[in-house]
Amino acid sequence: MDIFRKKFKDITYEDVEDLVANKFEENEILEYKQEFNPKDFDKLISSFANTYGGIIIIGVKEKKGTSQPEKIVNVTYTDLENAIDSICWRKIGPPVSCDRKYLQKPNGRTKIFVIKVYESDLTPHTVENGTAVYYRAKAQKYSVDNYKKADLDHIDWLKNRRQKFDDLREELIRRNQERVDTIFGDSKKNTAYSECIVLPKYPRNTLLDERELLESIRRDDELNAIDIKTANNCVTFLNHRNKTNFSEFNAFGGYYNFVLRNHVHIAEPKWQNKKLLILNEILGNLVTNLHIGQRFLKRLSAHGKILLSYKLSNPKGNTIVWTEENRGFPQPQIELNSLVDNSYEFRKEFELSEFANDYFGIFSDMVDNLIFSLGGGVLHSRRESNR
């Protein structure tokens, strides 16, 4: 459902109406409450933070004996913002981060209250004066709450699971890079290349099998894929327009792209003795990768935090230029400095809702960062004047 992919500020009353109309059941990342009861609400919020994060909606009555929503009811409790803040900061340790707001029916008086709890990096979060830990469980029939008290083994797992997910994520990236080394060998040692990675920060389990992954790639005309191979829950391929463009998807929701950036020669006297890297092409590839990555994650209904990494390596010895068309041919217009340390890297985490709905804004920030790293003040000024 769209409500899980939206930025919190964009969630509307109509989104909740859609959940009810479609009888969308509670699950590990969604909980309905007919009314607010301060008792045990710390257990509920902390269980979300300890697991995958999620959304709590106060003002939705469930069908008896099921986890299906039946109807929206009016929330009469006032000042829920302060009540939730107090729970998050005073009853849970360490405190939990969440967003919350009232939503009112358009042209009506009915109000509901929505809370978005974020997946935490600080697990386990305790309640009951630091003596108990709760986590989310799958919805059960006739169960009032979808959280469970953690035993010692589960608490130990919560303490260590972030590291395990970190290790798995870095292992997936390492495998990407090993396959690139196998394909391109020594050619990447002295040649500029770029890497783009879009991957869940905490890859927990496979989101689809190899066959489903392969079919989704084959059906996607935008990918221009050839030489498609499958192995170890991954699909790898080359771009048929550019044999130095390698991509890989994995069943955990990760996307990896590598481009060997062979330099360009232009016959014009000013440039003929220089090896050129075209910034336009680098940025075009970057925005394409962000688009493909966010589309892939949406398709898999992934949730939680996303890691975005982009790296441009070995540009030294090349002249980096911004080109513009002149009689159908690209002509260098602005020459930028090379990177001092022979590489540029952008690595940042985002909530999936932010990445899915504003990847072009993220791209714009990355462009500004890269242009400044290359000393492209003139080009940056031109971008600002065109906004």
DSSP character for 235? E
Segments in the chain below pLDDT 70: 1, 138-145, 221-222, 224-227, 231-232, 237, 239-242, 262-267, 272, 301-302, 325-341, 374-387
Can you give the pLDDT at residue 302? Answer: 67
pLDDT score, position 276: 79
Instruction: Give the CA-trace dihedral at 115, 39, 88, 159, to 10 degrees.
Output: -100
Strand residue runs (E) in 216-365: 225-231, 234-239, 242-250, 255-260, 276-278, 305-313, 319-326, 329-336, 343-351
CB-CB contact of 28 with 52 (8 Å)? yes
Per domain, the residue ranges of the chain are 2-150, 162-386
Query: In terms of pTM, does the model score above 0.85?
Result: no
End-to-end CA distance of the chain: 33
Q: Distance between CA 31 and CA 24 in Å, rounded?
A: 11
pLDDT for 185 equals 81
Q: Domain spanning 2-150: which superfamily?
A: Schlafen, AAA domain (3.30.950.30)
Residue range 189-240, pLDDT digits in tens: 778 899 999 998 888 777 777 777 777 777 776 676 666 777 667 777 676 6
What pLDDT is recorded for position 55? 94
pLDDT, residue 296, reads 83
Q: What is the DSSP letter of 88?
A: I
